Structure 1
């Protein structure tokens, strides 16, 4: 009698060579819990805030959103989904979304825990501010 073999769970490793969007889709599916749902929700908000955003997959498995440079990354850990803004220290955060990586001179992050709500309006404003900052820095580089 043959032993039943469980179906292989797909993973982002199975998607080698796939587009960044497919890899991010795979990560969301692979997580299969609140973190996947949250990462998917954040991804949607980023695309709403900046329809021209470019998705990338860097550093062996980190979703990255770019527009004239990195806007933010979306990392998942056991207890949090971490949204790290590459130039967060230079952004105004009137809603106080940044709650992690506050000591650095460049980055700022938002740690989102299970059950926490996202201030969608403030997050989209932060995304747009990051895009605008990248555009200003790109123009400044061209002039230099």
Structure 2
């Protein structure tokens, strides 16, 4: 982003695009791939940009975030503790009562079908809670 262009001039999706380009390494590639899997799982997903630089995906409430760190891309599910994870994708933030996360490291493969199922389960949970 040029210094004359502020983040408020960009849509959340454009800011996510920009973050992926700025990373310029495996983390950007991983975030882009995770984003694509999320969109395939739920084409109605809404992208937001929160907390000074975290991509967040919503459908009837927060579904997940895509945080980038030096050694990992962390996909945190807002209500992950309430989700079944038959494929054992969750590998981080396992002690909390609400959230669960998946840390992806350089060279990790994505089990796309299992991840799509987890995203869809999160959306279904949000929808059920929204109807109450």
- Structure label with greater radius of gyration: 1
Query: Where does residue 49 of structure 2 map in the other structure?
Result: 57
CA RMSD of aligned residues (A): 1.5
Three-state SS of the structure 1 residue aligned to 2:93 is: coil
User: Which whole-Å deviations, capped at 9, do the CAs of 1:59-118 have from their partners, x for residues lacking one?
Assistant: 111000000000000000000000000000000000000000000000000000000101
Q: 2: distance between equivalents of 1:97 and 1:23?
A: 27
Three-state SS of the structure 2 residue aligned to 1:111 is: strand
Three-state SS of the structure 2 residue aligned to 1:115 is: coil
Three-state SS of the structure 1 residue aligned to 2:91 is: coil
Q: Following TM superposition, where does structure 1 have runs of at least 4 consecutive aligned residues deviating by more than 2 angstroms? A: 10-15
Query: Where does residue 106 of structure 2 map in the other structure?
Result: 114
Structure 2 unaligned spans of 5+? none
User: Which whole-Å deviations, capped at 9, do the CAs of 1:29-73 have from their partners, x for residues lacking one?
Assistant: 000000000000000000000000000000111000000000000
Query: Where does residue 127 of structure 1 map in the other structure?
Result: 119
Does residue 32 of the first structure (1) align with residue 24 of the second (2)? Answer: yes
Does residue 67 of the first structure (1) align with residue 59 of the second (2)? Answer: yes
Q: How many residues align?
A: 131
Candidates 9, 19, 24, aligned match of 2:11: 19
Does residue 102 of the first structure (1) align with residue 94 of the second (2)? Answer: yes
1:16 deviation in Å?
1.1
Does residue 47 of the first structure (1) align with residue 61 of the second (2)? Answer: no
Q: Which shifted more, 11-20 or 62-71?
A: 11-20
Q: 1: distance between equivalents of 2:100 and 2:112?
A: 18
Structure 1 unaligned spans of 5+? 1-9
